[in-house]
Structure 1
Amino acid sequence: MQKERTLAARVVYDGIGLHSGKPVHMELAPAAPGSGILFARSDLPEAVPVPATAAHVTATLRATTIGAGSLKFFTIEHLMSALHVQGVDNCLVLLDAEEPPVVDGSARTFFRLIAEAGTVEQDAERRVTVIDRIYRVDDGSHFIMALPYDRLRVSFTSLNDHPLIGVQYYDLEVTPEAYEKEIAPARTIAYEKEVAALQANGLGLGGSLETVIVYNDEGWMNPLNFPNELVRHKILDVLGDLRLAGMIRGHIIAVASGHALNTALAKQIAEERE
């Protein structure tokens, strides 16, 4: 029988939000058994924390947003991905803005901060989200599905018309060691011609060559961590989005899936469990 785990110590990090461009102070704090992952505003102490669950997803445009009432938190997927793989069941995420720090556009810093803090076992049985049948969500040529599997595995195919990227495929048996090396360093990617339109719509205001890898019609504007960094980052996002349905045990297979399909699958899984 597995026990729930929470952080052994508080984690503190200051940065800016990817889409808001606003400074943010983040604290990750231990939480009581059964709490789950909770997002709260440290500057709004009267506001009720928002559970990071599929039922609280409110938007998926370029990021995953959760909310309740007037309170919302967006671009939570990178942090959620690191918490998922580190096996953190219960954590209070305190922010003084609506968005966690983007750092370098990956989950590497979050993963390392959690590892440095460590986790402790709690006096509660962990409810693992065991995939025991086939779940699937389709959107034309895009889909994501979950199949029974005795561990956690993700197989992702990315489709991009740009000749620089094309079709990318990556398959990973997810362990903390493999994730830290192969997935956590994979950063958010943007096409240069889209940047101005995104910023005109209030998105990507914290984006720069330090926080996003950018490509144009000539090539990459900054060095890559991996030749197939895009598909690796897609796996990073999947692991963050599906954490909204709990600690997953199963095989996730996706083709050109994004936050909308990822969170739709998380909702499908979570609703059946409830």
Structure 2
Amino acid sequence: MSYFRTAILLAGLTALFMGIGFLMGGQTGMIIAFVIAAGMNLFSYWNSDKMVLRMYGAREVDARTSPKLYDMVQQLAGNAGLPMPKVYVMENPQPNAFATGRNPKNAAVAVTTGLVQSVTREELAGVIAHELAHIKHHDTLLMTITATIAGAISMLANFAMFFGGSRDNNGIGILGTIALIILAPLAAGLVQMAISRTREFEADRGGAEISGQPLWLASALQKIAGAAHHIPNAEAERNPSSAHMFIINPLSGLRMDKLFSTHPATDDRVARLVAMSKTMGGAHEPNLAPEPTGPWSGATARTTRGPWG
């Protein structure tokens, strides 16, 4: 049902994009809109992961430079039946994480230094399992396409603002053009947010299955959500279009209505995970190495540098 709903929302977003092109230029405008969308999606398919990792100053780590973090990702990827993704660290005090890449064979998991320093080892495993679920479900590519189409709709609306008033625009007129400029990006944003919320719920469920312990992720979500409102993420504030990628909305200082949030309410996500833990009963312990010393060994936040340094 979740995949069906996502497909319907994506189809609606595509139809909106094509419809705007038709209203602006008839069949020719619709064809031009299609070509633009295809070109943008093709570029995003090959380059979006590199762009976002560079945007956040992420640096790749490996078994030598960050053995504990790398081993955890490797073991959880094995649990999920996935190829080993690349592992990146972002020097950012806000606890958060995201996954990117066009497919499981070309995927990456990125975590902030703030995340590793403020959660337990179990909670970190829950977060990484969530991101691996995104990779397994091909959400990283889906959200890239969704964001690209939504951005293209905003671009077309801007074209309408500059060129729409000079002619009839297939009968919509000046008032119709103004409505198009305002409503089209809003509608695209709402559809994009609906898709993002749907995929987050599914990644929570998939991540809990990968780790075998839903409460690990539930506890991490509560910690991250609490910190995200108090610890700013400067790069995310400068690039809000990437906010949907993170496990928790990284934008702080703005109180948005639930309707306009790119993420489900944290309380709703936690409630689902708690319910899932009850149905799983005696959930198996995931295949993880013994508890190490350092910033993963206790429940309270630490100010020491992460296990890679």
What TM-score bracket applies, with the shorter chain setting the length?
under 0.3
- What TM-score comes out, normalization by structure 2 length? 0.24
With normalisation by structure 1, the TM-score equals 0.26
Larger Rg: 2
